[in-house]
Each structure stands twice: as C-alpha cells, then as structure tokens.
C-alpha cells in the first residue's frame, strides 16, 4: 500500500525539524563552552588590568565571519548574532556601563546598541558634555556621541569637548539614518501636528510638504522626545527611529521619509585607552599652528611624503584669542605605525599644541 504524499511530506518535515533541534542543542553546548573560555579570559584581563572591550578583537571577529561564511546564512545576520554573543561575553567578563547622548530610542542609542549589543548597562545623558564627564569620572566605561552627519555636517560641540578632555576615541560607528513617521493613530488623515528634532524635520521637509502640507511642525530636543509626545496624543505624529515605535508603542505610518536616501551619521565611542592595531585603522589628532607663513603646509607635507592619506580636516576657533584656530585631522593608519609616528614627530616642531585623540578601527557602514 502506497503512502499518501501528504504523509511523506509531514514525516520529512518532522525529520528536518528534529535535525534543526539537534543543531540548536549543539549551538547551546558550544556557546556554553565559549562562555567558560570567556570567563577565563576575563580573569586574566582583570589580573593584568587589561581592557574588557577590545575594538581590534571585535574587528577581527567580523573579518573571520566574512572569510568563513559560505553565504547560505546572510553575513549581516551572522554579524548581528555575533554582536549579541560578544555583548553577553563582555558582560560575563565584566558588566560594562555605556553612557550615550539620550534619551532612549535616539539614533545615538541605536548606534550604541549596534556597537555593544543588548546585554550591557546603558546610561542616557542629556548632553554631550555629560557623556564625556561620565567617562572621565569613570561612572561609565565608554561613551557614545555623534560626530558627523553626511547632510548636516560635523557636530562642533563634540569636537570642542576634546580640547580639555583626557578621553580617547576607541571606535567609530557609521549608520544609515532612516526617519519614520510614528503615531498612536493608524491614519495620516488624523495627523494635525508633527514633532521632531529640527534636523529630522529639515531632512524630511519635501515628504511632509507632499503628504501632510497643512500640519503644524514643532521642534523638540530629540526624536525620542517627539515620540514621547506622540504617545500621549493620537493627533500628533513624530519623526523618529523604528526603535522609538517599539519603545513607545506607536504605529509606523510611513517608513524612510527622509528626502535624501544617502543620510549617514558617524558616531564616536570614547574611552580611556587607545586600542591595539586591527589592520584597518585611522588616527585622529588636533593641533594649533605657530603664527608664521607656510605653517599649515609644513604640517601637511610630511603626511604626503610618507604616503599617509588625510581623510578629514576641520578647523574650529580656539576661543583663546581672535583668529586662532584648532585643526582636527583624521588620517589612515594607527599611532603605532612607524610612518605615522615619524610624521607626527616631524610636525610637532611646527605646532603650539599637538594632541592625539585616538587610534581605532575604521567603521563600516551598517
């Protein structure tokens, strides 16, 4: 008697599910073994007073994923899974505290989670200065602050904080900014007002003009603050992240409403120590120049001669005397690279102040 095709399919499905369950158990066993090794690593780090978060090590793990993945399981998803494995592992070694420019559900919060995962303790702060102070006073192990947006430009306040701060840049995070229209309501027709940070309102003005031309616009201190307001009034919408929709129980009325799709923000992770070389690093430093003809050329020329690429240079008033400027520079390479060391030593004689802000792995757009 021939068996029914449906019965054969059900039996095959059961067998496949059993195979998946067996693999899941193996994964759990391997994670448990990994955790035991992690604890031993934590013990050694603690005895040697070594940092518990190593951006260079993290970069090597992501590179290992790219080199070993066959492509059957999406590489981006593998990295997300390993992000949480590493986050839980750091917590096993030492429960780190991460300070960030809040409140919860801002894009800075999103960037912090992308870098450190969900297992660590986060402190939202009201200002960039507070984040720096948390790290300096050792209330937090690391801080996350915005530094640059592809549309709005550099965050000057973050640059200014480095003048008198002892913190170092230990990592950078680059994320695509996706704006969403959130509300308690489930229809655009019911929206009478939109709240958001002025940058977000400006980046979505064409979409607003086309779809909600008659609504009133209100500026808030953050996109998360706008979501809090929308949570209490169904006639109000907020422009904010998708994470804010989950946290404040809001409906997403429209996704990706930014006028320019290439909207990228770069964030810095600040800490107390410069990480080891990862093999794909950048170094940030600041300087003031002596008041003489050709001083800036004399500073830039050694980098050209040593084939070191300058990826960014910004200037800010020093606020100490009129027409005096501080220059902020990013270059390819690590502070421990011989050519970088030689170039920095050579330019020191042309500067009044030369301060290394950090050497860290280059961020990858996510």
Q: For residue 119, with 0-12 CB atoms within 10 Å meaning exposed, 13-18 middle and 19 or more buried, which class applies?
A: middle
Contacts (Cβ under 8 Å, ≥6 apart) of 221: 197
**Alpha carbon of residue 94 to chain centroid:** 21
Q: Is 73 a catalytic residue?
A: no
Q: Which of 106, 265, 283, 351 is catalytic?
A: 265
Q: Is 267 a catalytic residue?
A: yes
Kind and range of the H or E run holding 89: helix 75-93
* DSSP helix/strand/coil, 154: strand
Q: Are 267 and 170 in contact (CB under 8 A)?
A: no
What span, in angstroms and rounded, lies between the C-alpha atoms of 297 and 167? Answer: 29
What span, in angstroms and rounded, lies between the C-alpha atoms of 15 and 250? Answer: 41
Do the strands 142-149 and 168-176 form a parallel or antiparallel pair, or are they unpaired?
unpaired
Q: Which of 107, 116, 267, 287 is catalytic?
A: 267
The two structure tokens encoding residue 220? 């808030």
- 161 closest CA partner among 343, 292, 328: 328
Cα dihedral 272, 119, 87, 270, rounded to 10, equals -20
Kind and range of the H or E run holding 23: helix 5-48
Q: Are 236 and 182 in contact (CB under 8 A)?
A: no
Contacts (Cβ under 8 Å, ≥6 apart) of 346: 302
What span, in angstroms and rounded, lies between the C-alpha atoms of 117 and 91? Answer: 10
What span, in angstroms and rounded, lies between the C-alpha atoms of 244 and 258? Answer: 16
- 51 closest CA partner among 165, 171, 175, 159: 171
Catalytic residues: 265, 267
């Amino acid at each position: 008697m021939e068996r029914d095709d449906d019965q054969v399919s059900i039996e095959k499905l059961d067998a496949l599910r059993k195979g998946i369950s067996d693999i899941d158990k193996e994964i759990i066993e391997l994670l448990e073994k990994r955790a035991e090794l992690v604890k031993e690593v934590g013990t050694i780090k603690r005895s040697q007073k070594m940092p518990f978060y190593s951006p260079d090590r993290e970069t090597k793990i992501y590179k290992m994923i790219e080199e070993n993945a066959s492509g059957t399981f999406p590489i981006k998803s593998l990295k997300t899974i390993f992000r949480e494995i590493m986050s839980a592992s750091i917590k096993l070694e030492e429960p780190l505290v991460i300070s960030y420019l809040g409140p919860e559900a801002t894009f800075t919060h999103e960037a912090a989670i992308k870098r450190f995962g969900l297992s660590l303790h986060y402190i939202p702060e009201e200002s960039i200065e507070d984040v720096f102070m948390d790290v300096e006073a050792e209330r937090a192990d690391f801080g996350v602050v915005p530094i640059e947006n592809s549309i709005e430009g550099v965050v000057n306040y973050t640059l200014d904080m480095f003048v008198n701060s002892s913190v170092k840049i230990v990592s950078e995070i680059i994320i695509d900014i996706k704006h969403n229209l959130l509300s308690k309501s489930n229809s655009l027709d019911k929206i009478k007002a939109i709240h958001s940070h002025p940058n977000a309102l400006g980046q979505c003005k064409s979409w607003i003009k086309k779809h909600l031309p008659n609504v009133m616009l209100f500026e808030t201190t953050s996109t998360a603050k706008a979501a809090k307001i929308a949570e209490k009034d169904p006639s109000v919408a907020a422009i904010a992240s998708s994470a804010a929709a989950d946290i404040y129980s809001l409906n997403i009325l429209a996704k990706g409403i930014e006028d320019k799709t290439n909207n990228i923000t770069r964030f810095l992770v600040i800490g107390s120590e410069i990480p080891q070389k990862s093999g794909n690093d950048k170094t940030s430093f600041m300087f003031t120049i002596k008041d003489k003809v050709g001083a800036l050329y004399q500073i830039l020329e050694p980098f050209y001669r040593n084939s070191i690429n300058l990826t960014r240079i910004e200037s800010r008033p020093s606020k100490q005397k009129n027409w005096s400027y501080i220059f902020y520079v990013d270059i390819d390479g690590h502070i421990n690279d011989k050519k970088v060391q030689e170039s920095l030593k050579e330019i020191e004689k042309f500067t009044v102040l030369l301060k290394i802000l950090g050497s860290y792995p280059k961020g990858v757009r996510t």
